[in-house]
């Protein structure tokens, strides 16, 4: 008997709770603006960072603007991203879409269809083939990543010396970084001994650097066009005990490398950002369009300033996976 | 007349087997010779030690793959499994480090061995009990293990605790009487593997299951069990490779071990093991792993090939090596 009453009481309190919940929601202001965010799934360091910053932006913006609802969706391939766009726009009215497209060609059509329903389109990082689709474009500067690093290095080496370069996966991003770098180096007396692909992979970078070290008895500096690879490079140099390498530089702003910059590491005193946090900048700007009616149409190119011990804190996210 | 022909044929047979056995080692010697001619730095002891040490991971995993492949199976999940085991091992070590200090490394390694064996058992049971093609099963688990490591690292990297890093480093970078530890570990794994495959009842049953599973079944071999154990051996080898791998860069990332399965299978086949099963060559697999690593090394050391074409030349060399192999084994 007492068991039964206890059960009844529990049931009653559960009912009371479930009644109270929607009531509480109704008291808060209704979220009437929806911003959808479509990004690649975390498959490597950089995209891991993108997912982290998108989720941070979601929390912060929803807390700051009670009328804005941010929906983050990740996709593991271009096809999956197209499907998720269809799902997102079919189930609700989207006021804005922030998208980091997997590929330019495949995503242009589907994004156009979302725009046709009156959605504000923000494109991040990789542009669509038809730029008229986007209302806002936010991207980093890959050429500057290479060029700024090269200028700093040329200055430190006094415009002469012998260096080796590790490049990533054959893509536009990789080509632009290498182009920015080698254009600047071409104006100096610095000689690039070797450039090979290491696929933005720590292990392959370690292996390649070991081979570089075996091949060249004297190397003044090494540039890996991504910080992930730089970690492999540093391990290989340390193990070989080579003291001739004055500088080992990367790029992207990975947190382990930012830590080295903060500690004023002599061999890796700088990095250059191509920050995954650009997704956060884009979400904030899109939110500004709706929350404060601050006009946000146009193209916005994030610069790639050198990360030095003085400004490293701005680029350091200790909780991010990247 | 007939007897004479027969005896000639047997003598020929004997010769053929011997040549086929040596083919991968001859190929390796030729490539090493080429390397020495192309760049004198190739034969420097530092470079050779680097290359041999680096090939340890693929060689160790290839020993396991030799068991699986000669039993008539295939395992595509080894690269992802390696990454997964690495991830679990680092998490265990980091978790135990505050309480147990350096012993956390040993305990982590023990956990890795268990996890590797279980992963192999999982593959093996689904294949033998579920009666599904090994290609499909291990393609599935390849995706599963890869997703797990991506999840564990949040897409970033999972570094080992700094307090353990220095203590653990020698397992990859250290040496005993000038021989790097990973090379010694590979030797132990290879000797054990060769013993099991060539000198035990289990080894003979394994090869007979691979050459003709029906015949093996009729002669009283529990083919399912034999094959399942082969996958467990593969899992153990993956775990040993993971134990040597972690001290090198001290981290697991979602790209750890990517495409290693293809390198492993290539090494095993170059080594003379039949992809359709029924013949296993443990030492050949090791030679295969060395060939792959040496080719990559020579490519970087030579200035003849454009960076865009390196992969094409590597592919061509492998095919030529296999053709030479076929040529010698037909003699």
Q: For A64-86, what is each residue's pLDDT tens digit?
A: 888 899 989 888 888 888 888 88
Q: Could you tell me which residues are beta bridge partners of residue A74? A: A39
Using the predicted structure, report yes or no on whether residue B17 has a pLDDT greater than 80: no
The predicted model scores a pTM of 0.79
Nearest-neighbour CA in chain B from A281: distance (Å): 21
Whole-number pLDDT of residue B11: 44
A78's tokens: 């271009």
**Nearest-CA neighbor of A165 among A82, A224, A125?**
A224
Task: List every span in chain A annotated with CATH 3.40.50.2300.
Answer: 33-140+276-303, 142-262
Mean pLDDT over B108-115 rounds to 96
Nearest-neighbour CA in chain B from A195: distance (Å): 7
Residues of A in contact with B35 (CB under 8 A): none
A6 — pLDDT class (breaks 50, 70, 90): low
Residue of A nearest to B146 (CA): A43
What is the rounded CA–CA span in Å between residue B34 and residue B285?
21
Interchain contact, B157 vs A43, CB within 8 Å:
no
Per DSSP, B43 falls in state G
Interchain contact, B41 vs A215, CB within 8 Å:
yes
Interchain contact, B157 vs A211, CB within 8 Å:
no
pLDDT digits (tens, 9 = 90+) for B28-37: 998 899 889 9
The residue that leads in pLDDT, A89 or B124, is B124
Range in A20-34, B180-194, B295-309 with the lowest mean pLDDT: A20-34
Option in B251, B253, B301 nearest A215 (CB) = B301
The pair phi, psi for residue A187, each rounded to 5°, is -80, -5
Strand runs labelled E in chain A? 33-40, 68-75, 96-99, 120-124, 136-139, 160-167, 189-197, 221-224, 247-249, 298-301
Work out how many CB contacts closer than 8 A connect A with B: 96
Range in A294-298, B176-180, B184-188 with the lowest mean pLDDT: A294-298
Interchain contact, B156 vs A206, CB within 8 Å:
no
Residues of A in contact with B250 (CB under 8 A): 235
What is the rounded CA–CA span in Å between residue A217 and residue B299?
18
* CATH assignment, A33-140+276-303: 3.40.50.2300
A11 — pLDDT class (breaks 50, 70, 90): low
Whole-number pLDDT of residue A23: 44
Residues of B in contact with A197 (CB under 8 A): 307, 310
Whole-number pLDDT of residue B301: 86
Cβ burial, residue B187 (10 Å; 0-12/13-18/19+): middle
For chain B, the domains span 23-329
Nearest-neighbour CA in chain B from A41: distance (Å): 8
Query: What CATH number does domain B23-329 carry, 1.20.58, 1.10.287, 1.10.3470, 1.25.40?
Result: 1.10.3470
Mean pLDDT over A46-70 rounds to 89
A317 — pLDDT class (breaks 50, 70, 90): confident
What is the rounded CA–CA span in Å between residue A295 and residue A284?
12
Interchain contact, B307 vs A196, CB within 8 Å:
yes
Range in A237-246, B20-29, B145-154 with the lowest mean pLDDT: B20-29
CATH 3.40.50.2300 is held by the domain A142-262: yes
B126, B142 Cβ separation under 8 angstroms: no
What is the rounded CA–CA span in Å between residue A227 and residue A214?
22
Mean pLDDT over A179-196 rounds to 93
Option in B150, B250, B300 nearest A42 (CB) = B150
Option in A41, A49, A214 nearest B44 (CB) = A214
pLDDT digits (tens, 9 = 90+) for A197-248: 998 888 999 999 999 999 999 999 999 998 889 999 999 999 889 999 999 9
String of DSSP letters for A20-48 = HHHHHHHHSPP--EEEEEEEE---SHHHH
Interchain contact, B150 vs A207, CB within 8 Å:
no
**Nearest-CA neighbor of B297 among B59, B55, B72?**
B55
A95's tokens: 């006021």
pLDDT digits (tens, 9 = 90+) for B209-245: 999 888 988 888 999 999 999 999 999 999 999 999 9
Whole-number pLDDT of residue B16: 52
Pick from B36, B154, B156 the residue to mutate for testing the A interface (most A CBs within 10 Å).
B156
Whole-number pLDDT of residue A113: 87
* Strand B179-180 to B175-176 pairing: antiparallel
**Nearest-CA neighbor of B270 among B1, B73, B31?**
B31
Using the predicted structure, report yes or no on whether residue A322 has a pLDDT greater than 80: no
What is the rounded CA–CA span in Å between residue A264 and residue A309?
6
The listed range with the strongest mean pLDDT (A308-317, B18-27, B119-128) is B119-128
> Mean pLDDT across chain A, nearest whole number?
85
Mean pLDDT over A107-130 rounds to 88
A284 — pLDDT class (breaks 50, 70, 90): very high
Would you say the C-alpha torsion B67, B68, B69, B71 has a positive or negative sign?
A: positive
């Amino acid at each position: 008997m007492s068991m039964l009453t206890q059960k009844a009481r529990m049931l009653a309190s559960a009912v009371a709770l479930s009644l109270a919940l929607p009531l509480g929601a109704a008291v808060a202001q209704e979220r009437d603006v929806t911003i959808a965010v479509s990004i690649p799934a975390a498959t490597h360091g950089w995209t891991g960072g993108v997912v982290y910053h998108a989720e941070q932006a979601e929390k912060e913006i929803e807390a700051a603007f009670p009328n804005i609802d941010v929906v983050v969706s990740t996709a593991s391939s271009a096809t999956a991203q197209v499907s998720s766009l269809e799902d997102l726009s079919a189930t609700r009215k989207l006021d804005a879409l922030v998208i980091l497209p997997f590929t330019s060609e495949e995503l242009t059509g589907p994004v156009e269809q979302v725009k046709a329903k009156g959605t504000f389109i923000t494109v991040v990082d990789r542009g669509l083939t038809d730029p008229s689709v986007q209302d806002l474009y936010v991207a980093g500067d890959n050429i500057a990543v290479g060029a700024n690093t090269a200028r700093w290095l040329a200055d430190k080496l006094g415009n002469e010396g012998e260096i080796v370069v590790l490049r990533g996966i054959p893509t536009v991003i990789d080509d632009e970084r290498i182009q920015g770098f080698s254009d600047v180096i071409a104006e100096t007396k610095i000689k690039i001994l070797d450039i090979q692909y290491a696929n933005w992979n720590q292990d392959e970078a370690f292996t390649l650097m070991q081979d570089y070290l075996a091949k060249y008895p004297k190397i003044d500096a090494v540039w890996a066009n991504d910080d992930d690879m730089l970690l492999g490079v540093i391990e290989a140099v340390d193990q070989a005990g080579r003291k001739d390498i004055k500088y080992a530089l990367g790029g992207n702003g990975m947190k382990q490398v930012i830590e080295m910059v903060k500690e004023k590491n002599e061999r890796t005193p700088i990095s250059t950002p191509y920050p995954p946090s650009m997704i956060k900048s884009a979400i904030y700007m899109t939110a500004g369009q709706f929350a404060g009616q601050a006009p946000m149409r146009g193209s916005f190119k994030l610069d790639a300033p050198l990360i030095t011990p003085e400004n490293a804190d701005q680029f350091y996210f200790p909780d991010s996976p990247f | 007349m007939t007897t004479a022909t027969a005896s000639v044929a047997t003598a020929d047979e004997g010769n053929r087997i011997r040549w086929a056995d040596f083919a991968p080692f001859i190929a390796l010697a030729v490539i090493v010779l080429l390397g020495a001619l192309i760049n004198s730095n190739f034969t420097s002891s530092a470079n050779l030690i680097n290359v041999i040490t680096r090939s340890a991971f693929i060689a160790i995993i290839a020993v396991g793959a030799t068991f699986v492949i000669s039993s008539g199976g295939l395992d595509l999940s080894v690269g992802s499994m390696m990454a997964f085991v690495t991830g679990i091992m680092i998490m265990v070590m980091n978790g135990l480090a505050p309480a147990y200090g350096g012993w956390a490394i040993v305990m982590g390694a023990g956990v890795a061995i268990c996890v590797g064996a279980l992963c192999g058992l999982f593959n093996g049971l689904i294949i033998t009990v579920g009666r599904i093609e090994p290609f499909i099963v291990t393609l599935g688990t390849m995706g599963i293990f890869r997703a797990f490591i991506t999840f564990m690292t949040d897409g970033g990297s999972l570094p080992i605790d700094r307090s353990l890093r220095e203590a653990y480093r020698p397992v990859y970078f250290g040496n005993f009487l000038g021989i790097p530890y990973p090379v010694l570990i590979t030797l132990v794994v290879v000797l054990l593997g060769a013993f099991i495959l060539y000198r035990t009842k289990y080894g003979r049953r394994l090869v007979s299951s691979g050459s003709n599973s029906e015949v093996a079944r009729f002669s009283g071999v529990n083919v399912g069990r034999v094959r399942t154990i082969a996958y467990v051996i593969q899992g153990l080898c993956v775990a040993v490779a993971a134990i040597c791998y972690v001290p090198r860069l001290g981290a697991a990332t979602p790209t750890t071990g990517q495409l290693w399965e293809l390198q492993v299978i290539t090494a095993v086949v170059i080594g003379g093991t039949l992809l359709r099963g029924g013949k296993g060559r443990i030492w050949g697999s090791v030679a295969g792993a060395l060939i792959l690593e040496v080719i990559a090394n020579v490519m970087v050391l030579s200035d003849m090939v454009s960076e865009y074409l390196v992969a094409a030349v590597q592919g061509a060399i492998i095919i030529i090596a296999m053709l030479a192999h076929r040529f010698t084994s037909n003699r």
